[in-house]
Chains A and B, each alone.
Chain A
Amino acid sequence: MSSPAIQVTDYSWKYLHSTTRAIKNIELIVQPGECLGLIGSNGSGKTTLCNSIDGLIPGQYHGIKEGRVEVFGTEVEEYRRGELQRTVGLVFSDPEAQFTAMTVEDELVFGMENLGLSISEINRRLEWVCDLADLSPLLDKPPYEISGGQKQRVALAAMLAMQPRVLILDEPTAMLDPVSRERVFAVLARLRKEREITMILIEHSLEHIIPLADRMVLLSNGRKLHEAPTRTFFSDLSLLRQEGIHLPGAVGFSGYLRESGATTDEPAISVEEAAQQARNLRGAAKGELS
């Protein structure tokens, strides 16, 4: 059996000058090709965990590390400098903060140049990401002069062009309006269809994360509180409510039906499923009346 894409074992991290650990005894396994949704309130340790998988921690930050973080069977600290980033791509929430070039085109090729790819391969991948994220009309523009949604698509495409085996998205739509958010998630959905890529997705808007994620993890105060396949994850909503997680309307509605005993169906995780549950209930009620 092949090794997991990511294996986090009894992992804790404490930033220098901090009195408490940001991550506490986390155990996590992500299989190749799996999409993991990571949720939790601000300060729950989501970003710290993702930075640990990408090697930014402990590479760029000082602190105390305990436990192991392995990517494809190798501890992140054992990767040579720059080597881990070929395997793990990280997209940050603030797209502007990650721009490193003067035009969108240069931005997209910067990572590929660092990989030492040939010009023909760069052109091939450039064409692919431009098509995937609809960026062709923007290639000549400075990345800091385009709209927020376009910026995030550029940041995402720049990372995808490097074709990492693992893609981590840290609140990629936190700064976007709903329309731009939809477009970014449409890119991710298309990516999941076209390529087998391991993905960790941190996102507050659950209605976008649910259709993509195979499994969900809830973090709170640096600890893993709950982990389950996406549908099962929403079978008990009390913990999520207690943690202040804003539930999508469909999930909340389905949960209410289940909690009130009106249905014993599996939790609905989309509007269509919730509507079907409502139709089933109406049908059952009609049957009882007749």
Chain B
Amino acid sequence: MNKTLLGYVPDASFIYLVHPTIKVLFLLVVSLFPMFISAVEWNVGLMVGLMALTVASRVNMRTLKIYIPVAVSMGMIILLSYTVLGGRHPDYQVITRIFGFPLYWERIRDALVVYFRILPMILTMVFFLSTTREREIIAALRAVRTPFVVTYVLAMSMRAAGMVMEDFRIVRQAEQARGFDSKNKPLPYKIRKYVMYMVPLFALSLRRSEEFTNALVARGYSFRSKVKRPDYILSRYRFAWWDGALGVVIAALFALLLVARYRFGRFTVEDSVLLRYLHTILIPGGGA
């Protein structure tokens, strides 16, 4: 098992054959796909494809369960903001009225379009984080000649997040051991007393900064060094023919999507079979 940013993936997964740069390209480009797709069924199809990739990569699907409540609550929020808080539109088609509030077809349609745009974006990110290690992000950035200092600062930021969380846990346990615990206390109290955690955490951060600087100096690192670094990490990831092929496929799909959308007017709301079907159900005999 290898630890990825969101979980663990078995050593045997095909995902390790893919160069990190292609993974980052996948994230950046595929997460843009839904922006150009309004037809719900296509975004659902994209989600199915992403789920299939996640399963094929041997990601433990149980770890993804935690996103279900998030997805459901996000859907509810979007639906409520588009319908109940969506305002009055005399020219829209009314499906029904709830306590006097009109429920418009257009607002439900828009809510569905937005929701099914966001879901594949999140799923793309979840797929990327579930199958990518911190080190691969650094390797991807180095592969495209990002300056070492930039990638290093990014890497250290990722690492620092974990360290701060660990320090926070220690500080909290130490304060709990001395009888200070904000658990089960009202939120204003928690916020007020948060400074009790912040002060030692800040002091710890200062100490860590000093130690870290010393470690960098002790390892012979200098921002002004003229030594050419050999970039060992790149020697661990080699571009294979399939990486090139995958890159071309991703770029070609994106190009096709843009052409289909803007040249032939596909993937639009009007083009959506599912929305048309839903419309006929909700407003029998009504025009779209």
Contacts and interface: CB of A to CB of B under 8 A. Distances in A.
A117 B158 contact: no
B181 interface: no
Interface in B166-225: 166, 208, 210-222, 224-225
Q: Which of A56, A89, A102, A118 has the most CB of B within 10 A?
A: A102
A86 B218 CA distance: 9
B232 A111 contact: no
B155 interface: yes
A119 interface: yes
Q: Which of B162, B163, B217, B225 has the most CB of A within 10 A?
A: B217
Interface string B127-140: 00000011100100
Contacts of B208: 97
A100 B203 CA distance: 20
A213 to B, nearest CB: 22
Nearest to B135: A102
Interface string A116-145: 111100100000000000000000111011
Interface string B231-243: 1110110000000
Given A106-B233, A144-B163, A115 B227 contact: yes
Nearest to B225: A82
B215 A114 contact: no
Given A82-B222, A97-B211, A102-B138, A113 B229 contact: yes
B227 A100 contact: no
Q: Which of B2, B3, B219 has the most CB of A within 10 A?
A: B219
A99 interface: yes
- Number of chain A interface residues as a range: 35 or more
A162 interface: yes
B230 A85 contact: no
Given A85-B220, A113-B229, A118-B230, A144 B215 contact: no
Contact of A112 (B3, B138, B212, B232): B232
A228 B39 CA distance: 84
A57 B196 CA distance: 34
A113 B230 contact: yes
Interface residues of B, number: 38
A162 B212 contact: no
B214 A56 contact: yes
Nearest to B227: A116
A111 B210 CA distance: 18
Contacts of A111: 219-221
Interface in A41-84: 51, 54-56, 59-60, 81-82
B88 interface: no
A97 B219 contact: no
Nearest to A101: B155
A200 interface: no
A103 interface: yes
A23 B138 CA distance: 42
Contacts of A145: 3
Given A119-B230, A140-B2, A144-B162, A106 B221 contact: no
Interface of A: 51, 54-56, 59-60, 81-82, 85-86, 89-90, 92, 94, 97-103, 105-106, 109-119, 122, 140-142, 144-145, 158-159, 162
30 contacts: A59-B217, A60-B213, A60-B214, A82-B227, A86-B220, A90-B218, A92-B214, A97-B212, A98-B211, A98-B219, A99-B159, A99-B215, A100-B156, A102-B134, A102-B158, A103-B135, A109-B232, A110-B221, A111-B221, A113-B229, A113-B231, A114-B221, A114-B222, A115-B227, A117-B230, A118-B230, A119-B235, A122-B230, A158-B219, A159-B218
Q: Which 10 A-B pairs have the closest CB atoms?
A: A97-B211, A98-B215, A116-B227, A85-B220, A114-B220, A111-B219, A82-B222, A109-B232, A102-B134, A90-B218
Given A97-B215, A98-B218, A144-B159, 4 more contacts: A97-B214, A111-B221, A112-B232, A142-B3
Interface of B: 2-3, 133-135, 138, 155-156, 158-159, 162-163, 166, 208, 210-222, 224-225, 227-233, 235-236
